[in-house]
Structure 1
Amino acid sequence: MNNLQLERILNEKLQPQQIKDYCPNGLQVEGVQQVKKIVTGVTASQALIDKAVELNADALLVHHGFFWKGEPESIRGMKGKRIRTLIKNDINLLGYHLPLDIHPELGNNAKLAELLAIEVEGGLEGHPQSVAMFGKLKEPMTGAEFSKKINQVLNRHPLHISPENEHKLITTVGWCTGGGQDYIELAAANGLDAFISGEISERTTYSAREQDIHYFSAGHHATERYGVKALGEWLTQEHDLDVVFIDIDNPV
């Protein structure tokens, strides 16, 4: 497949023009025109790029790419080395950030809900492009039980902050993969029993304790493995492309 054609079909699927983002979505570094093998992964780290080189990939498709708003514009140091490796090996880099978080079928939020058996009810912000979601569990759980379930599903022991009533059962849940911890305020305002995100801030602890809501920090990387993996599987199923997902371990 032509690299620009690959970008077009990904854009058609993910509709990046519908959401304002902090980075460019789509083809970020142009490489060889004909794409036969694709590597997918969460972040375009040097380790993932080196693995793509090792596997003779023509394209690298990630959730966290380059050229973030506010970062230094110079291509030097760590970023320079990454981009030089891509260019030297003629590897295309495609990145999709918020469009891959919110996609109702392949998105990080959708896949996390599927894994945790949460019935999706809607966007926490009240519109289809919401980057935080809410839903309910089929059966109420204690905080300890839900923490155990997250651990089993993601292979990552979450940090659980209990409300003052630590025995409060969980039926309704809000979530935002990655760095979505501040949506806990909106989740609490909507009366949800629990909120999940990847990262936690110091202030999140007090929000959970004082607003009667369970909070689970399950890891930025761990909660965002599944969207890009599903996107690669979709490319294989729908477009017969050779795609392999590589998980570079990250404890955050």
Structure 2
Amino acid sequence: MAQRNEIAGFLDEYLNIHEVEDKYLVNGLLFEGKEDVNKIAFAVDSSFDTICATQKEGADMLVVHHGFLSKVSIFPIVRHLKKRVAELVKTDINLYGAHIPLDVHPEVGNNICLCRLFDVNVKGKFSFGFWGEFKKEIDMDAFVKDINSRLNTECNVFGFGKKKIKTVAFVSGGAQYDILPAMLSDIDCLVTGENSHTTYLIAKDAGMNMISAGHYATETLGVCALSKIVKDKFKVDTVFIDKPTGL
């Protein structure tokens, strides 16, 4: 058994919660539940279904990539937020969120995990992610098939660039507009989660490759990697709550 504040304090420090800038979501301990923690659930989102699944798993704490407290707009606790908060109050489950800090982390971040998964030699930071090189040029179509298989997803591909690629940038989630700095950096392919009408036209006119592998699919690796760190540190049970959206 571990203590809520001890776990939250460790996560704050390990993930640099108070140092990493995040313009979008509030990070850290978002809802204070029970003090004693025997089991921790990890998930991408803090949806009502995820909170209910956490309770069914018998977990005392839920650690997510997407918390539900926005920095972009102040939203009243009604409808979807009321539903989520009410379930947390009823179950006394702790909620902890790590958004951008879990994207950029050099050990357990979504993007460094993607680099490792696809055997990319990291050369440096890129936006909220990283860029690097394959050991040798690989076929673009084969890379897409590999992503589909390893991430259990169906990629949407803007394949207007090189058919053989050497450099790649990974920026998980909704980073489709990073196609512009990727283009200016002469990166052969950008891998992110989402796309748009506008970025399709940019990719086409610029002769650029962009793979949209799914917002959810590109952001499961970080919480899973983090769960192993927490499990070893606090000797508690952990579980991954898988609630894919298909997007």
TM-score w.r.t. length of structure 1: 0.94
Match of 1:240 in 2: 235
Match of 1:112 in 2: 114
* Distance across 2 between alignment mates of 1:180 and 1:198: 7
Determine helix, strand or coil for the equivalent of 2:187. coil
Match of 1:78 in 2: 80
Matched, 1:148 2:150: no
Q: Deviation of residue 118 (structure 1)?
A: 1.4
8 Å contact kept, 1:132–1:183: no
TM-score w.r.t. length of structure 2: 0.95
* Distance across 2 between alignment mates of 1:58 and 1:79: 20
* Distance across 2 between alignment mates of 1:132 and 1:114: 13
Aligned-partner residue type, residue 12 of structure 1: E
Structure 1 stretch 204-213 or stretch 53-62: which is displaced more? 204-213
8 Å contact kept, 2:25–2:72: no
Match of 1:50 in 2: 52
* Distance across 1 between alignment mates of 2:45 and 2:62: 10
* Distance across 2 between alignment mates of 1:191 and 1:70: 32
Question: For each residue in 1:114-157, what CA deviation from the matched residue of structure 2 results, as whole angstroms up to 9, or x when unmatched?
Answer: 11221111112xxxxx4032101112122211111111111112
RMSD: 1.2
Runs ≥4 residues deviating over 6 A: none
Q: Deviation of residue 50 (structure 1)?
A: 0.6
| Number of aligned residues | 245
* Distance across 2 between alignment mates of 1:114 and 1:228: 15
Aligned-partner residue type, residue 11 of structure 1: D
Match of 1:34 in 2: 36
Match of 1:133 in 2: 130
Determine helix, strand or coil for the equivalent of 1:174. strand
Match of 2:125 in 1: 123
* Distance across 1 between alignment mates of 2:65 and 2:217: 13
Of 69, 72, 78, 2:71 maps to: 69
Structure 2, unpaired ranges of 5+: none
Determine helix, strand or coil for the equivalent of 1:42. strand
Match of 1:127 in 2: none
Determine helix, strand or coil for the equivalent of 1:61. strand
